[in-house]
Amino acid sequence: MEKNNLPTPIKQKSRPLWDDILKFSRKKYFLAFMLILVGLLGIVVPVIPGLLLLLFAAALLKPGLMKKVRAKLNSLFK
């Protein structure tokens, strides 16, 4: 009987995809929360673009929002 010369797989600690999704989701919500805070500060302080940061935060929280905003802005400026 011949001996198999194939390499044996190295057992690595496998992480399920769900853990990666949850980690990304936490980062996304944290970033959106920070953008909301800085955006609210930007409404009071004139140097910081508050409305733009609030719009970015809303886009992170609701993915389809930017397409609607872009369509609305295009219809306003035509």
Q: How far is CA 46 from the centre of its chain?
A: 27
pLDDT of residue 20: 73
Assigned token pair, 35: 């953008």
Q: Is the overall model pTM greater than 0.75, yes or no?
A: no
- The domain limits of the chain are 50-78
Round the average pLDDT of the chain to a whole number and report it: 80
Write the Ramachandran bin of 7: left for phi over 0, alpha for psi from -120 to 50, otherwise beta.
Answer: beta
pLDDT digits (tens, 9 = 90+) for 30-63: 888 998 898 888 888 888 888 888 888 888 888 7
